[in-house]
Amino acid sequence: MKKDGVKLFVDGKRLDGRELDELRPIKMEVGVLKRADGSAYLEWGENKIIAACYGPREVHPRHMEEADKAIVRVRYNMAPFSVPDRKRPGPDRRSHEISKVTKEALESVVLTHLYPKTVVDVFIEVLQANAGTRCAGITAAALAMADAGIPMRDLISSCAAGKIEGKVAVDMMGAEDNFGDADLPLAISPQKKEVTLLQMDGNFTRKEFEEAFNMAMKGCLDVYEIQKQALLKKYEV
């Protein structure tokens, strides 16, 4: 929420010099971990994230397995050193929530019926955080899954939009997230533009919501292009 005295625009530009519809710089690389079946490293502004994927493999504990399909398990974790004040290690309410919504965002594109009684395990490790880590984590996780060769009918791409000092803007960074008015993370399967995650924190008018949704959608499609490049790069000779 907005706190008195914090200015989020300087000379009409955002604090990091961006326009309202401009994403932070994004870099992605796949196949960064030897021991995972698939992996990805992603830098998104000051966010730094590693994702690893294993599977389809045997389910432990056994009682979690499903007779007719694979299950998808996601663990989102923030390193203690990922934020300015040390984060208490281990799971908390926030990481449980993000793991749950991430699993739901990713699972919808996996052809789970092909691998009954198995699990696709996805680990998202946030090494450095500066707002938007759920979107960055989902984006990295989808890449790691594709890198692992998990059969999927599409990738998943994610990006948020928000409201800062009453103006709708894409991809909020730390200060904007802390002192802004609203945040709208979105994840889509880009080919059909189906929404697989939509959350909202703060308040938008209906018109602002539509504007933010469209901005986040455009952000997701830009992210999708970078994901495709990262995957193609692995197979360049």
- Given the structure tokens 């052809």, which residue do they identify? 111
Phi/psi class of residue 22: alpha, beta or left (left: φ > 0; alpha: ψ in -120 to 50)? Answer: beta
69 CB contacts (<8 Å, ≥6 apart)? 112, 113, 115, 116
Which residues inside 156-195 make contact with ligand ADP, applying CB under 6 A?
174, 177
Closer residue to ligand ADP, CB minimum distance, 119 or 217:
217
* Cα-based angle 110, 27, 194 (whole degrees, multiple of 5): 35
Closest CA to 181 of 220, 212, 150, 223: 212
Which of 31, 38, 55, 132 forms a contact with ligand ADP (CB under 6 A)? 132
Sole window of 24-32, 56-64, 129-137, 221-229 interacting with ligand ADP (rule: CB under 6 A): 129-137
Which of 87, 101, 154, 223 forms a contact with ligand ADP (CB under 6 A)? 87
Sole window of 59-67, 82-90, 203-211, 219-227 interacting with ligand ADP (rule: CB under 6 A): 82-90
Closer residue to ligand ADP, CB minimum distance, 109 or 135:
135
Closer residue to ligand ADP, CB minimum distance, 174 or 219:
174
Q: On the CB side of 109, how many CA atoms lie within 13 Å of its CA? A: 28
Distance CA 208, CA 168 (A): 7
Which of 11, 85, 166, 207 forms a contact with ligand ADP (CB under 6 A)? 85
133 contributes a contact to ligand ADP by CB under 6 A: yes
Residues forming the site for ligand ADP (CB under 6 A): 83, 85, 87, 94, 129-134, 174, 177
